[in-house]
Amino acid sequence: MRLGILCGGGPAPGMNSVISAATIEARNSGWDVLGIMDGFQHLIEGRVEEARPLSITDVSRIHVLGGSILRTSRANPTVRDEGAADPDWRLHACLESLRKLGIDALVTIGGDDTAFSASRLAEVAGGALRVAHVPKTIDNDLPLPGGTPTFGYETARSVGVELVNNLMTDAMTTQRWYLVVAMGRSAGHLALGIGKSAGATLTMIAEEFPPDEPVRLSRLVDILETAMLKRIAHGRPFGVAVLAEGIGLRLPQEELRKAMPEVELDEHGHVRLAEFELDRLLAKEVKERFKERGQKITVEGKNIGYELRCAPPIPFDIEYTRDLGYSAVDYLKQIVKGNEPGGMITIQGGHMVALPFGSFTDPETGRVRIRLVNVESSSYRVAREYMIRLDREDLEDPEKLRPIAAASGLTPEDCRERYGYLAAGN
């Protein structure tokens, strides 16, 4: 038997640990192992020479390292070319490359897009290839059973907390504000996890807004501005706000296009949020608000996405990913002579459970379902309790409203009229 291993999508702490565990178990089982460089990219192009043999010696200590020794890419083999004689030529090219490499079984490491690509490969292969997918994303947005985190999330949160703690100290020392944008295209788990654990002044995630309505830029600015006014009223004119990057995708189209006139998409059709600079946009808008009142405030934007993705994994993620890598090969050994094309590897109650491809698929969209932050949960309620945000009590208690209104340059009545809508749901 010959096993192939590849990584797709963005990096996540623990990828090397999966590669290591899978390679060691496969080699100990008498299998050959090939590491496939750069995700699906070279398989699509037919460049089979880019694959490299992996031995136990090659991977024996990489489990403590960040990044991926196989690198990664977002090359998408499921893109259809409707104008070609074979619209699915990318998938067929991948399978032909794997055939030339003599690969009988494949471990894919990636998020929802890589999971979809893996499932399509197994489907089109028609039994000639067995695939085990190991789900990873620092966004923690795959709906794993029992609320289990996706690997890489806990490390990314830990590193993010350290960075935000440092920024909190700098904010206090220099009497300024930082607006920190954390990764989370579809869900706010990482931003909330960082903000809550670090004790950030406030955290904003897309899930807190009505799902069927766009989120106006002016509303985001109002939330930040009133938090700052409340801090000024408390004699503490500084702080750190953490925001999930996915909020940017909830802006009305006209505002999104204005902010990103030359929007760029990746190979999976997603807006490249790293180029959106939501932090800088909001910092500019907030400063303008204070400038209009003749007040000066220092607000700095900071995006901490890339600093988290290739960090060395913490012990939680090392242990977790070693279980996943071993289990992926153990599962392939079980199905290699059967009719099962493959599945997604999960750890439930300390046991490996392989879920069929499609387990996480939304039947309406055909794409992987997203695990959102439950804003009705006790955990989220606790997070909100410790944020500095304008709430109903601030508006109803004259003693609390008076200094906030004074900081805004408005009368208490005008302040309540202007910003009262923010506390309507609290």
Q: What is the pLDDT along the chain (426 residues), one digit of tens a residue?
A: 999 999 999 999 999 999 999 999 999 999 999 999 999 999 999 999 999 999 999 999 999 999 999 999 999 999 988 888 999 999 999 999 999 999 999 999 998 889 889 989 999 998 899 999 999 999 999 889 888 999 999 999 999 999 999 999 999 999 999 999 999 988 999 999 999 999 999 999 999 999 989 999 999 999 999 999 999 999 999 999 999 999 998 988 787 777 666 656 555 555 566 667 889 999 999 999 999 999 999 999 999 988 999 999 999 999 999 999 999 999 999 998 788 889 999 999 999 999 988 777 777 776 778 899 999 999 999 999 999 999 999 999 999 999 999 999 999 999 999 999 998 766
Beta-carbon contacts of residue 371 (< 8 Å; ≥ 6 apart): 140, 141, 142, 143, 144, 187, 189
Beta-carbon contacts of residue 92 (< 8 Å; ≥ 6 apart): 86, 124
Distance of CA 401 to the CA centre of its chain: 38
Contacts 24+ apart (CB under 8 A), 60-64: 60/20, 60/24, 62/16, 62/17, 62/19, 62/20, 63/16, 63/17, 63/20, 63/21, 63/313, 63/318, 63/321, 63/322, 64/17, 64/312, 64/313, 64/318
Q: Identity (one letter) of the amino acid at 375? A: V
3-state percent helix, strand, coil for the chain, nearest multiple of 5: 50, 15, 35
Closest CA to 202 of 390, 420, 393, 378: 390
Beta-bridge partner residues of 239: 177
Rounded Cα distance between 419 and 223, Å, is 9
Beta-bridge partner residues of 352: 347
Beta-bridge partner residues of 110: 135
Q: How far is CA 186 from CA 140, 241, 249, 263, 371, in A?
A: 10, 19, 9, 18, 9
- Pairing between strand 342-348 and 239-244? unpaired
Closest CA to 390 of 425, 424, 423: 423
Q: What is the DSSP string of 341-403?
A: -EEEEEEETTEEEEEETTTTB-TTTSSB------TTSHHHHHHHHTS----HHHHH-HHHHHH
Q: How far is CA 112 from CA 23, 127, 152, 375, in A?
A: 23, 22, 14, 23
pLDDT for the residue 406:
96
CA dihedral 322, 325, 327, 331 (to 10 degrees): -170
pLDDT for the residue 357:
82
With H, G, I as helix, E, B as strand and everything else as coil, classify residue 294: coil
Q: Is 228 exposed, middle or buried (0-12, 13-18, 19+ CB in 10 A)?
A: buried
Q: Of 38, 113, 139, 394, which one is the catalytic site residue?
A: 139
Place of tokens 């030339």: 100
pLDDT for the residue 269:
53
With H, G, I as helix, E, B as strand and everything else as coil, classify residue 144: coil
Closest CA to 249 of 241, 240, 239, 259: 259
Sheet holding 130-135, edge to edge: 52-53, 32-35, 2-7, 105-110, 130-135, 342-348, 351-356
Rounded to the nearest 10 degrees, the angle between the axes of helix 378-385 and helix 189-198 is: 50
pLDDT for the residue 219:
95
Rounded Cα distance between 162 and 109, Å, is 27
Q: Is position 139 annotated as part of the catalytic site?
A: yes
Q: How far is CA 346 from CA 249, 325, 373, in A?
A: 30, 10, 20
pLDDT for the residue 260:
60
